[in-house]
Amino acid sequence: MQKKILAAVVASMMAGQAMAVTVVDNGTDKVTIGGHVGMRYVDQTDGEAAGDSSRINFGFEHKLTEATTAFAKAEWGFDTTNSGEGDFFFNRLGYVGAKNDQYGSISFGKQWSSYYTVAGWTDVMATSGGNTAGVYSELGDELGTARADDALQYNHSIMGLNISLQAQLGERDYSESEDELSNDKLDVVKRTVIAGTRDSSYGIGVSYDLPMGLTIGAAYNQAEVDVTGTVYESSKDPVTADGSYKAKSAAVAAKFEADKIYAAFTYAKLDNLNDKYLGFVEEAEGVELYARYQLNEMFRIGGGYYQLKDESSYTGAVNKGEIKYFPVEVVYTQGPVQLSGTYEFQDSVKVGTTKSVDDKLILQARYYF
């Protein structure tokens, strides 16, 4: 049996079939393998090649009764440009659970958050967007808004109402070393994180499917954080977070799906955000808007508007910084191959300065299996 599974895995990898490949399905047990390998070229002042979130995942199901199924999923990302420094593989997901046709599902482990069930509607571009609604903060996994660590989650859909409830169990320690935030050229914030602990967190996502393809929703996540010394320095006032604070993320969103059209909008209100571009932000507002049109079976075009604004009441700040850009994309899909080109019209401002951020061109090649 094990030899047959291994042979199927190797065959599926070599064949490069699109989407997840089912390697076992005997009516009781099911095993699938999926993922993709990708590369991208980014031109923003200086051009460079980089990996494209390559990953491999394994899904498992076992039928307990006619209506109840146990499941598990594990996913690892890998860096196609790794030159021997750092980890080649890194964990993205890993959870187990059970689902019932009548009562919904319960799962435990590292999984996409309840907050993401709503705030993720605008995180659908091929290479851009999705980073201004508080999902992918510096501590998104630890605090429960992204791929939440240690998460106990319940999900259920009934008569168009979709509910997701989440609690992160146990404490989670984190520590960072001093570095410069240089992502996307927003590089003037110096960060020093000595240590911190997430004591607890909870999240909820609720949405309702209306007729004609419209869905509306709201999500909330709150984490209790203890820190022993977190400092962000720039030409704005230094921000020190000692003791404890509550990291809060609240979002409302809507999406529309019909035939060849997809459109979504997200508004987020964020307190005590650890943002990897803007540093520690006491109060922020995020807006995300995306729309696309499927031209034919192979081509689609899309565009969006993404903004994250620091609304904190610092004194003496030269500039609090802002993320603001307008991406447009063309995506080509043929079988397991995806090629895309995205251009970001940037209107962002570097923290502590009046300097704007350069426009960005992103070219992507991805192969699904």
What pLDDT shows up at residue 16? 37
pTM over 0.85: yes
Q: Is residue 255 part of a domain?
A: yes
DSSP element (H, E) containing 39: strand 29-44
CA dihedral 105, 109, 111, 113 (to 10 degrees): 80
- Residue stretches of the chain with pLDDT short of 50: 1-18, 177-185, 187-189, 194, 233-236, 317
Q: Is residue 234 part of a domain?
A: yes
Q: Report the sign of the C-alpha dihedral through residues 149, 82, 192, 273, in that order.
A: negative
Q: Which two tokens stand for residue 287?
A: 């807006």
Q: How far apart are CA 313 and CA 282, in angstroms?
A: 8
Q: What is the pLDDT of residues 187-232, one digit of tens each?
A: 444 555 546 888 899 999 999 999 899 999 999 999 998 876 655 5
What pLDDT shows up at residue 188? 42
Question: What is the 3-state composition of the chain as percent helix, strand, coil, each rounded to the nearest 5?
Answer: 10, 60, 30
Q: Is residue 204 part of a domain?
A: yes
What pLDDT shows up at residue 66? 95
Q: Is residue 13 part of a domain?
A: no
Q: How far apart are CA 296 and CA 77, in angstroms?
A: 31
Contact status, residue 321 vs residue 308, Cβ threshold 8 Å = no
| Residue closest to 123 by CA, chosen among 247, 187, 219 | 219
Kindly report the CATH number assigned to the domain that includes residue 110.
Answer: 2.40.160.10
Q: Is residue 66 part of a domain?
A: no
Residues 6 or more apart from 2 whose CB is under 8 A from it? none
Concatenated DSSP letters for 194-256? Answer: --EEEEEEEEEEEEEE-GGGEEEEEEEEEEEEEEEEEEEESSSPPEEEEEEEEEEEEEEEEEE
In Å, how far are 204, 207, 278, 306 from 129, measured between CA atoms? 23, 22, 16, 7
What pLDDT shows up at residue 2? 43
What pLDDT shows up at residue 182? 46
Q: Is residue 89 part of a domain?
A: no
Residue ranges making up the domain that contains 142: 43-56+103-368
What pLDDT shows up at residue 231? 52
What pLDDT shows up at residue 9? 36
What pLDDT shows up at residue 230? 53
Compute φ and ψ for 192, nearest 5 degrees. -130, 115
Strand 172-174 relative to strand 196-209, pairing: antiparallel
Q: Is residue 259 part of a domain?
A: yes
Q: Is residue 326 part of a domain?
A: yes
Tally the domains of the chain: 1
| Residue closest to 221 by CA, chosen among 237, 241, 206 | 206
Q: Which two tokens stand for residue 148?
A: 């939440």
Residues 6 or more apart from 274 whose CB is under 8 A from it? 137, 138, 139, 143, 247, 280, 281
What pLDDT shows up at residue 7? 41
